């Protein structure tokens, strides 16, 4: 009996968590302009989305393009920066190491809106004209700590003699980094990259405050503006559904990787 209630509880939680997204998913298969009206099953919204047969297609497509490009650049740069930082932190000793690890964690806990506003003020103060570059810089800033956090455990798990073994066999420090350290940290770097990529995709607040006034839109700012203009464009419903499915697949991939790595480590 106790088990039954426990089961009910977890299912109830899952339903509450996923109801909104399922709701959007269901209504992406109907043509109604107003969300909540079921006017029969149709995949017209999906085909509209892909054929560009909708109002404001151009700006939506450029927003998607921007989003992906910014996420790609931010994730790549922060993967590099974060990995180097993690190696540095790993080789520190004592109090300094603790302090830096702590400082690394703060930006992740910091509300996005504060990160956004403070970056906005910083750019204004430094007289940097806001636009694409500032958005990318901002995204790199808040993505890097996540990469550090995913690479550090890989370093701790690593036999400390392995890097030394490479040097011992005649590798210069750079060769040892390239041929031994990076291949061994790869799983952590990939997790970090994926994490940074999704964090960047997901971001609204920071982008909103750092994009300036040149009319740069990412998907999140586009949807926000669109919704304020009087109702959500219906074609956004299939888009959101597709994005959710995409993220779901990505998460499943990450989890399977982690399970596999853990199994491998156990052996």
Q: Which residues bind another protein (CB under 8 A)?
A: 159, 161-162, 164-173, 175-176, 179-180, 183-184, 186, 264, 267
The nearest distance, CB 158 to another protein, in angstroms, is 9
Quick one: 110 or 172, whose CB is closer to another protein? Answer: 172
Asked if 45 and 235 count as a contact pair (C-beta separation under 8 A), the reply is: yes
The nearest distance, CB 157 to another protein, in angstroms, is 11
User: What residues have CB less than 8 Å from 110, skipping those under 6 apart?
Assistant: none
Taking phi over 0 as left and psi of -120 to 50 as alpha, with beta for the rest, 55 belongs to beta
The nearest distance, CB 189 to another protein, in angstroms, is 13
The nearest distance, CB 154 to another protein, in angstroms, is 12
H helix runs in the chain, sequence order: 2-27, 44-51, 57-90, 94-109, 112-125, 132-157, 161-168, 173-176, 182-202, 205-210, 219-228, 236-266
Asked if 217 and 123 count as a contact pair (C-beta separation under 8 A), the reply is: no
Quick one: 77 or 176, whose CB is closer to another protein? Answer: 176
Quick one: 92 or 167, whose CB is closer to another protein? Answer: 167
Q: Which residues pair with 41 in a beta bridge?
A: 30
How deeply is 219 buried, as exposed, middle or buried, from its count of CB atoms within 10 A (0-12, 13-18, 19+)?
Answer: buried
Quick one: 53 or 164, whose CB is closer to another protein? Answer: 164
The nearest distance, CB 186 to another protein, in angstroms, is 8
Q: What is the DSSP letter of 180?
A: I
Quick one: 163 or 197, whose CB is closer to another protein? Answer: 163
């Amino acid at each position: 009996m106790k088990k039954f209630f426990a089961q009910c509880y977890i299912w109830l939680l899952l339903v509450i968590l996923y109801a909104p997204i399922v709701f959007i998913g269901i209504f992406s298969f109907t043509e109604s302009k107003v969300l909540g009206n079921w006017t029969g099953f149709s995949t017209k919204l999906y085909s509209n989305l892909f054929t560009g047969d909708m109002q404001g297609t151009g700006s939506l497509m450029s927003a998607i393009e921007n989003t992906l490009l910014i996420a790609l650049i931010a994730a790549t740069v922060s993967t590099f920066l974060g990995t180097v930082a993690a190696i540095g932190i790993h080789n520190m000793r004592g109090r300094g190491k603790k302090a830096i690890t702590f400082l690394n964690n703060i930006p992740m806990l910091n509300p996005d809106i504060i990160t956004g506003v403070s970056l906005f003020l910083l750019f204004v103060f430094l007289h940097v004209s806001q636009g694409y570059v500032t958005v990318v810089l901002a995204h790199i800033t808040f993505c890097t700590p996540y990469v550090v956090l995913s690479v550090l455990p890989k370093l701790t798990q690593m036999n400390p003699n392995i890097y030394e073994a490479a040097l011992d066999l005649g590798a210069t420090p750079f060769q040892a980094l390239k041929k031994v350290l990076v291949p061994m940290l790869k799983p952590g770097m990939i997790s970090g990259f994926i994490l940074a990529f999704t964090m960047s995709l997901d971001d609204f607040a920071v982008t909103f405050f750092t994009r300036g006034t040149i009319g740069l839109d990412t998907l999140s700012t586009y949807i926000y503006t669109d919704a304020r203009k009087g109702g959500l464009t219906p074609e956004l419903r299939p888009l959101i559904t597709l994005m959710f499915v995409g993220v779901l697949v990505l998460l499943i991939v990450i989890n399977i990787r982690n399970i596999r790595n853990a199994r491998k480590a156990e052996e």
